[in-house]
Structure 1
């Protein structure tokens, strides 16, 4: 299971929002803890698209603060309760991941020394059971020597001391520092002070340390902050079925069109309808051309991913050199690589939004698959993570859940009519029902023809200008 914590520094612009979601998807995030969303309560719902199945958030305003927790579709997470901060500083979400309880927290601490906010967070968090996974921008280095690039010594802030004390009391571990005790690496670059610092933390319960596979910083180019990625061993791994779709981007590439045309000509050159029935040739052609399209699409996707990986690897190397020597040349190299990655991710986001706009233009006002999918998003998730069995026990096994539903509906729709079934209770119920009757006088009034006075009264009761007059 991949968890990513990231200060995205505002996500109001639709292109940046798409880039953020694409970045998280490309790194296979199943849970994303976001800070500084700068979205209102309603605008946070814009994050519930694409791979995002559940979205929990705490808002402040459209210009400041705001945190969110995004959970991937079909993840075995069952929501139980949540707690939010009225100032948009943190959100706590408690639930179950498969059969195990878990509490997720996204934090954006103030950029002033405010230990009271940290105390309030951990006091509220203490109400929820562990294990805890806390990710966020704490806006203060815990170690002023290892977590700052500046050579000037600075005292540890009161907020940092409160965080360290709370970690000891709650049995929490800074997992990145735990795995890299002697490494200098930073998550934030301040353009104002031309300095680097490590202020983005992943705090997890010590009981989860044995499940951690790795923890590292991802390339920093969309935001001023590096995403922090933690991978845990998955206790439950549910895979959804794959649905193949034609990659329409192939039709925009001349080389791809040429290869597809050549494949079609080659197929019908060796497989003509005179040697085989037409229906068999047609089915074989569809399978062949689909394989060709998949190969072309996969090749383009791998080339794009390799280009992104090479740029990200180069950016990580440039940042490492910058950590060692904060010179103008190193800063320029980092800025150049960040610009290339920004252009690459922006072009991908723009293409995706262009496809979305054209799809809405063509199908938005018509009943069809798009409307069905829009309505489906408003319904409950397809995944039923658990079910209570007839003996009162709670099962989280997908096989047991399916079998229980099958048995329930088989019993529900089985024939129960007969002397020992529903006949007796139904007859007794109907015999005891008193059906009201109307009198002969009322019946005569209801069956009488309409009078002139009744018609005039009905006309007078109509809205002015909406019907004819009495004449």
Structure 2
């Protein structure tokens, strides 16, 4: 069940105007943020912010990222307007006073045009100033005109001023007040608070020195807007000498906003009382309600409602407890202010000042507490790799609010949140129900059966089927809960992973009953399957079109646990079911396997001058277009038991919000694995079709490489292969709804004559590239010689830009080192592993120099680099040594030759050019001992070169290593049969050596049950080992090998 949460609210706009008397002190900014959080206004107008021009910091008030400021040349005056994030806002014009006296915004708030004017008048010549501002406003005013701020003068001194020294206002002040009212009238403006409180006397300013009260702050509206005013009130004077004034305007109609879903408050678990009550409630609930008449689904769903009430109660109780002292002080201020304003005496003033002092102390202590926590957190984590440092380094993310959508090919534009939500719901409703789409071909099960019957796909063995369909266990559920990633957004039910981890012991038995029942019936309760779709804009694409959003599904955590258990079981079997050219989301396979294969194939194409085309297919909404019926048929073809299919499709039961018949959720742990299975028939159809020619290397033809939905084809004979490929893609689309976006699919020809290429361009509407195509984040060129210029040179510029941005951050030198390790090194290693080519020494030197320069902030190093590069266990700080990291990445590629049982495909390509010599064998020979290998590919030659440079370091010896396989001895012993020894479990030299000497034949006879027929072969091995220059350090019989040697001996355990 997929939902868009659109909540209809009565359209009210809440505005607060507040003279804050300076915000340079952190405690005042903290107090302002607390007041705004408590009052929940939509627009905040501030006066007297006291920030200098060009030195105004962003006011860190939660949910108020839109801020406008008018500042003066000195720390005086200053006005600001802040707009809440959930207000649909669009700026049309902004006018700010260079002296910081006023700020005018012509804007749209919730699709209604306003002219907001925030004013701070001087305390002399007020009439002249206000008249000038109103004249300026009259020239630009559009829509509803709303003026607010501190005018520093009273319109009616007889009612709005109270002074013990001057009980009766002077005639001059009365005349001035009348002039001010006349000025308002001439512009059609009305004092909103006075109209709503005609007989009241309340004040917005209190002079503590003179103990006088006056009303100097106003909201002014034109007569046409007065009918929309719902409330206008003056609040208490607390930490400033002015009171905030609050205005609520009813905009008329309704507005739609995102519904704020309830979420489990993890902080309540830190309270022992809350923790104990939740545990007690869980125990009592399940004890009382676990009866034969209550189904596991009902029992589980009802427990959420019970726990939600307990959590809300404790969250409210703890929040009230934290705010109890402050609320008591605010009530005392209110009472004291009422008494002092009605009877301004020294005694009343003293009580008021004491209450305000207590509030200031409370705010100061709250600020100190938050600062201590923040400083402690920054001290502990800012200079260490982690979430805090990542957020600190990450650039400011642009607002993700969808301001409007363009529909019907640009003929219609919608702005209102409700209309935007309905448009997205309609789009995804059509996307997830393609059977009602008139464009896909007619769909029937018989066609799918015929399509799959021609494919040679592997099938599960009976043992694998039994393991896959075995009942769920409590251990399996508990292990999955423990492995859940932390701090992830929950689904619509609001229960987070923290809840499940903390109460795993109480919840696991009931989750087992629930999952077992769902697997048997093939259905979950609809409430559990409800999913919140969060449309995230795709980078580099316009966020005004529905297709340019990536729908991320926020699943309920209990459903995610169920899906993760199934995913863990399926993941174990995928390497046996999916061909090795699919490397996405398959255990033991990685994206660099395909890029290295592609680089090798391009080298083969260029060496043999083969006319070829590289084709990177772009699948349109690949995960979202997976048809469920086709998925079911594919799983049956792979031999999945019917019971397992029932368990899987329990996650895709019918929805009542809008009908869903296709798609796998992006956010579900099972989705990428199911997609790998559903795309495999297409890959196999291409593999076994002789009409699509691939690149032949040895006995194997290489046509396709996949990383999930990223499909890359290497085709020979393009004039024949492309038409046949187009037919195969059409066939697959007809049975699966898979759709290729041809204009976005990249094609790169190699060794194809110009006239043939032009003919192909006319027949196939691909994006024909000239020099390279983009694949898995790197640029693959038609000539391997261009890989460095296309990838590593631009990345060097990226490094420089990144380090330049990071220079502005206030990190210690250890923090800068941590930033390199966490954010920059992984990107560099990805290039090293994806394109493991030879790099100029000058390039690596420049990268290292840039990193060192950044660590020391351009100053002289205070610690030698060689010491920083040492591991932490040896007294260093593990500062990245780029030369060694590059060498290690190359050696990691070489180590993939030892993968068991199936090495990556690129190793087979490179091995075929080594003829009869195995790469896994020749590396154990020194460069002089190694036979000539004139035909090996450039990457293989580079691997062996790096190996020769690192051999001594990795094997801890300059001669034969204890991990040397016995096959190596065939280079010295004619007709040596290593397989004979391997059959007895002797595969490496370390099994023949003890204490630095070779074991006697009699000892080997007894240990491995050898016969006399082995004696000659034994002496042949001994003759090699006892050659001059070959020696082994004396070791214990079970002494550990070097790490690399251990990997070679047992690669599957590393």
Q: TM-score, normalised by structure 2?
A: 0.37
Offset at residue 114 of structure 1 (A): 3.8
1:129 is the counterpart of 2:142 = yes
Q: What is the rounded CA distance, in whole Å, between the counterparts of 1:425 and 1:11 in structure 2?
A: 68
1:74/1:238 contact within 8 Å kept: no
Q: Which has the higher contact order (CA 8 A, sep 6+)?
A: 1
Q: What is the rounded CA distance, in whole Å, between the counterparts of 2:149 and 2:307 in structure 1?
A: 48
Q: What is the rounded CA distance, in whole Å, between the counterparts of 2:19 and 2:130 in structure 1?
A: 18
Deviates more, 1:200-209 or 1:342-351: 342-351
1:102 is the counterpart of 2:129 = no
Closer, same or farther: CA 184–306 of 1 in aligned 2, 3 Å: same
What does residue 244 of structure 1 align with?
263
1:139 is the counterpart of 2:152 = yes
Q: What is the rounded CA distance, in whole Å, between the counterparts of 1:83 and 1:346 in structure 2?
A: 35
Q: What is the rounded CA distance, in whole Å, between the counterparts of 2:108 and 2:137 in structure 1?
A: 16
For structure 2, the 5+ residue unaligned runs are 1-12, 428-544, 550-619, 621-738, 744-757, 772-784, 786-840, 850-1054
What does residue 312 of structure 2 align with?
294
Q: What is the rounded CA distance, in whole Å, between the counterparts of 2:763 and 2:419 in structure 1?
A: 38
Q: Superposed, which structure 2 residues align to 1:74-93 within 5 Å? A: 74-93=86-105
User: SS where residue 47 of structure 1 aligns?
Assistant: coil
Q: What is the rounded CA distance, in whole Å, between the counterparts of 1:114 and 1:425 in structure 2?
A: 78
Aligned counterpart for 1:222 among listed residues 232, 239, 242: 239
What does residue 192 of structure 1 align with?
209
1:34/1:136 contact within 8 Å kept: yes
Closer, same or farther: CA 388–188 of 1 in aligned 2, 3 Å: farther
What does residue 168 of structure 2 align with?
152
2:126/2:151 contact within 8 Å kept: no
Q: What is the rounded CA distance, in whole Å, between the counterparts of 1:70 and 1:99 in structure 2?
A: 17
Q: What is the rounded CA distance, in whole Å, between the counterparts of 1:94 and 1:296 in structure 2?
A: 44
Q: What is the rounded CA distance, in whole Å, between the counterparts of 1:103 and 1:203 in structure 2?
A: 12
Task: Output the aligned Cα RMSD.
Answer: 4.5
User: SS where residue 91 of structure 1 aligns?
Assistant: strand
Offset at residue 366 of structure 1 (A): 3.8
Q: Superposed, which structure 2 residues align to 1:32-431 within 5 Å? A: 32-41=44-53, 43-61=55-73, 63-126=75-138, 127-150=140-163, 151-154=167-170, 155-156=172-173, 163-235=180-252, 236-240=254-258, 241-242=260-261, 244=263, 246-248=265-267, 251=270, 255-256=273-274, 259=277, 292-304=310-322, 308-309=326-327, 311-361=329-379, 363-364=381-382, 366=385, 368=387, 371=390, 375=394, 377-384=396-403, 394-402=413-421, 408-410=545-547, 417=742, 427=762
Q: What is the rounded CA distance, in whole Å, between the counterparts of 1:189 and 1:198 in structure 2?
A: 9
Q: What is the rounded CA distance, in whole Å, between the counterparts of 1:381 and 1:143 in structure 2?
A: 47
Q: TM-score, normalised by structure 1?
A: 0.76
What does residue 23 of structure 2 align with?
11
Offset at residue 243 of structure 1 (A): 5.7
Q: What is the rounded CA distance, in whole Å, between the counterparts of 1:16 and 1:285 in structure 2?
A: 44
Closer, same or farther: CA 308–210 of 1 in aligned 2, 3 Å: farther
Offset at residue 64 of structure 1 (A): 1.2
Offset at residue 233 of structure 1 (A): 1.8
Q: What is the rounded CA distance, in whole Å, between the counterparts of 1:188 and 1:113 in structure 2?
A: 19
Q: What is the rounded CA distance, in whole Å, between the counterparts of 2:54 and 2:763 in structure 1?
A: 53
Offset at residue 250 of structure 1 (A): 6.1
Deviates more, 1:81-90 or 1:42-51: 42-51
Q: What is the rounded CA distance, in whole Å, between the counterparts of 1:226 and 1:311 in structure 2?
A: 16
Q: What is the rounded CA distance, in whole Å, between the counterparts of 1:115 and 1:429 in structure 2?
A: 75
Offset at residue 386 of structure 1 (A): 6.8
Offset at residue 381 of structure 1 (A): 4.5
Closer, same or farther: CA 303–411 of 1 in aligned 2, 3 Å: closer
User: SS where residue 145 of structure 1 aligns?
Assistant: helix
Q: What is the rounded CA distance, in whole Å, between the counterparts of 2:67 and 2:73 in structure 1?
A: 18
Q: What is the rounded CA distance, in whole Å, between the counterparts of 2:48 and 2:759 in structure 1?
A: 65
Q: What is the rounded CA distance, in whole Å, between the counterparts of 2:222 and 2:408 in structure 1?
A: 32
Q: Between Structure 1 and Structure 2, which shows a larger proportion of helix residues?
A: 2
Closer, same or farther: CA 160–53 of 1 in aligned 2, 3 Å: farther
User: SS where residue 294 of structure 1 aligns?
Assistant: helix
What does residue 452 of structure 1 align with?
none
User: SS where residue 74 of structure 1 aligns?
Assistant: coil
Offset at residue 229 of structure 1 (A): 0.6
2:147/2:219 contact within 8 Å kept: yes
2:77/2:100 contact within 8 Å kept: yes
Closer, same or farther: CA 190–372 of 1 in aligned 2, 3 Å: same
User: SS where residue 316 of structure 1 aligns?
Assistant: helix
Closer, same or farther: CA 371–61 of 1 in aligned 2, 3 Å: farther
Closer, same or farther: CA 44–386 of 1 in aligned 2, 3 Å: farther
Closer, same or farther: CA 357–259 of 1 in aligned 2, 3 Å: farther
Closer, same or farther: CA 36–402 of 1 in aligned 2, 3 Å: same
For structure 1, the 5+ residue unaligned runs are 437-445, 447-457, 467-471
User: SS where residue 80 of structure 2 aligns?
Assistant: strand
What does residue 556 of structure 2 align with?
none
Higher CA-based Rg: 2
1:172/1:206 contact within 8 Å kept: yes
Instruction: State the Cα deviation string for residues 394-448 of structure 1 (Å, max 9, x = none).
Output: 5332243356677645599576759xxxx99964999xx9x89xxxxxxxxx9xx
User: SS where residue 69 of structure 1 aligns?
Assistant: strand
Closer, same or farther: CA 234–316 of 1 in aligned 2, 3 Å: farther
Closer, same or farther: CA 411–16 of 1 in aligned 2, 3 Å: closer
Offset at residue 84 of structure 1 (A): 0.3
Closer, same or farther: CA 279–377 of 1 in aligned 2, 3 Å: farther
Q: What is the rounded CA distance, in whole Å, between the counterparts of 1:268 and 1:373 in structure 2?
A: 44
1:247/1:297 contact within 8 Å kept: no
1:114/1:158 contact within 8 Å kept: no
